[in-house]
Amino acid sequence: MLENFEAALRRSNDLIQSGLEDRLYSNYSAELTTAMRYAVAGGKGLRGFLVLASANIHGIPEARASRPAEAIECLHAYSLVHDDLPCMDDDDERRGQPTVHVKWDEATAVLAGDALLTEAFRLVAETPGEPRAILRLTHSLAMAAGAHGMVGGQAMDIAAETAEVPLSLDEITKLQAGKTGALITWSAMAGPRMAGADTAAMKTYGDALGLAFQIADDILDVEGDAATVGKATQKDADAGKATFVSLLGLDAAKVRAAELVDEACAALDPYGADVDVLRAAARFVVTRNK
Amino acid sequence: MLENFEAALRRSNDLIQSGLEDRLYSNYSAELTTAMRYAVAGGKGLRGFLVLASANIHGIPEARASRPAEAIECLHAYSLVHDDLPCMDDDDERRGQPTVHVKWDEATAVLAGDALLTEAFRLVAETPGEPRAILRLTHSLAMAAGAHGMVGGQAMDIAAETAEVPLSLDEITKLQAGKTGALITWSAMAGPRMAGADTAAMKTYGDALGLAFQIADDILDVEGDAATVGKATQKDADAGKATFVSLLGLDAAKVRAAELVDEACAALDPYGADVDVLRAAARFVVTRNK
């Protein structure tokens, strides 16, 4: 099952990367084009996969879902480029390659991130479909990515680094729902949003998957091998940051992640057996080793 | 006439700032809210004014045009916050106040900029109106702001700083059409876009206005008083950067700016006398002292 999923993930990522090769460029600066493409390459493409799969089970063909899938990968890539900056997490390596500000410079990293964020909105607004549905898809992406979602969670994370009291479990759950969860949930909900269908089941699935993903990330930070993970590990532990592992303990964190995978799978019950690939995706996020 | 225009500009800016007080915040981080609002405050609000005025002459009431007016001011503010970063222009002062990375820190400046950019797309997607028109308005904002517009022009500008050969007049005109012109033209075109009307006249007006604005900026950099302008002057001249003034000479630059104002006003002929406030706006950009 996981093998099938991993093949499906690779196939979807190839499709997304090939679309971005066509559509991601600047007519002003060849260097900006190169830096943007460098930043989107090399990831697993999980968020884009979720968009394509959730569209598929709602009867939206790949040709219509490819724009929002490309958009979410641009948006995710921008967040990594800016997070890696010296004034943020100061990471030199990402996906086993030098980060954008190491390969070029900080100015290029700021601009490539800004451009990827902006092009994400261009791409999602180009999605073929009923204008009201596409407008909602676009608006919800801004809600997920901005001050009420990813950037908000990231700001809360930065503030926590200098706070005297470490975050509680409730606080870290809220933080991660913004920082990591919002884009994953948006991806899962993209299908029903495009189709004008009920989004509740896919929201429950996405929320559980996003939280499981982050708990697995915290476990990887402790247990993972830097060479396999493709970035520095033990960073959070060394920094004394509150994480799901530091708050729950390693064993309880693993149990919680497994429960969340079950919750995510249970949310898919209304869809029957057709969505086994999404169940496999949920299992994948907690078993991946990078 | 200019007095009337300046009063109209102040009134429109008050309206936009008051809307942003209501709508610009983060439910994750009070500091992010404060930094975002700090960054949007204190400007003249020219772009937002252009949105409201161009909407008005196309029969779109203020209540419907306020969201895109707020959006363009967020977007403009983000561009200033990121441009001022140490790795970019390294400016300590903006609009007579410390820049965001000076008042807070670089991480806050990166995040506040990212949030303002993202919230701009949220706000524009919330514009009341016919969904297809609003979707076009949203898509065109991404085109104007991203790799094919503002960020593209900015990347070209950064590359020019280390290039051996200074930019030609054609190159600097292209650069500025992206870096400064694209948002101004988008603002001027917002009205006909929302109304589903012909955009050609407002495009001509916006393109001429945007170029006049940048030439006036280059003149201010040479002739302006830092205390009045509210930021460092003589920076471009000291850096030996190609500008309209260095390429044309001061007198010819003033003549060219005046010609562009005439072009902008002529483009408004089809609208008759109703649009005198937009003619005044064109004169304003070349006579302002900050």
Residues of B whose CB is below 8 A from A36: 147
Can you say whether the dihedral through the CA atoms of B59, B61, B65, B70 is positive or negative? positive
| Cα B17 to Cα A24, A193, B9, B216, distances in angstroms | 34, 32, 12, 25
Give the range among A131-135, A203-207, A274-278, B44-48 with minimum mean pLDDT. A274-278
pLDDT digit string, tens, across residues A116-134: 999 999 999 999 999 999 9
pLDDT digit string, tens, across residues A35-74: 999 999 989 999 999 999 999 999 999 999 999 999 999 9
Instruction: Say yes or no for a CB contact (<8 Å) between B26 and A148.
Output: yes
pLDDT exceeding 90 applies to what percent of chain A? 82
Do residues A78 and A117 lie in contact, with contact meaning Cβ atoms separated by under 8 Å?
Answer: yes
Mean of pLDDT values over A161-189 = 94
For residue A290, pLDDT beyond 70? no
If DSSP codes are grouped into helix, strand and coil, which group holds residue A98?
strand
Give pLDDT, residue B2: 67
Give pLDDT, residue B237: 60
- List the single best residue of A27, A80, A114 to mutate versus B (max B Cβ within 10 A): A114
If DSSP codes are grouped into helix, strand and coil, which group holds residue A93?
strand
CATH of A2-287 given 1.10.287.130, 3.40.50.1100, 1.10.600.10, 3.30.1490.20: 1.10.600.10
The list of chain B residues with pLDDT below 50 reads none
- Tell me how close the Cα of B2 comes to any Cα of chain A, in angstroms: 35
User: What residue of A is the nearest CA neighbor of B177?
Assistant: A28
Separation CA A83–CA B36 (nearest Å): 18
Confidence class for position A236, pLDDT limits 50, 70, 90:
low
Instruction: Say yes or no for a CB contact (<8 Å) between A155 and B115.
Output: yes
Beta bridge partners of A93: A98
Residues 6+ apart with CB under 8 A from B30: none
Q: What is the ipTM of this complex?
A: 0.95
Instruction: Say yes or no for a CB contact (<8 Å) between B135 and A154.
Output: no
Neighbours of B22 (CB within 10 A): 8
Half-sphere exposure of A124 (CA within 13 A, CB side): 36
Confidence class for position A232, pLDDT limits 50, 70, 90:
low
Residues comprising chain A, all counted: 290
User: What residue of A is the nearest CA neighbor of B89?
Assistant: A107
Give pLDDT, residue A230: 61
Neighbours of B152 (CB within 10 A): 28
pLDDT digit string, tens, across residues A99-118: 999 999 999 999 999 999 99
Residues of A whose CB is below 8 A from B154: 111
Give pLDDT, residue B228: 63
Give pLDDT, residue A65: 97
Instruction: Say yes or no for a CB contact (<8 Å) between A152 and B125.
Output: no
For residue A229, pLDDT beyond 80? no
pLDDT exceeding 70 applies to what percent of chain A? 93
Give pLDDT, residue B66: 98
**At A286, which amino acid appears?**
V
For chain B, the domains span 2-287
Instruction: Say yes or no for a CB contact (<8 Å) between B175 and A122.
Output: no
Half-sphere exposure of A18 (CA within 13 A, CB side): 7
Instruction: Say yes or no for a CB contact (<8 Å) between A26 and B151.
Output: yes
User: What residue of A is the nearest CA neighbor of B85?
Assistant: A107
pTM beyond cutoff 0.90: yes
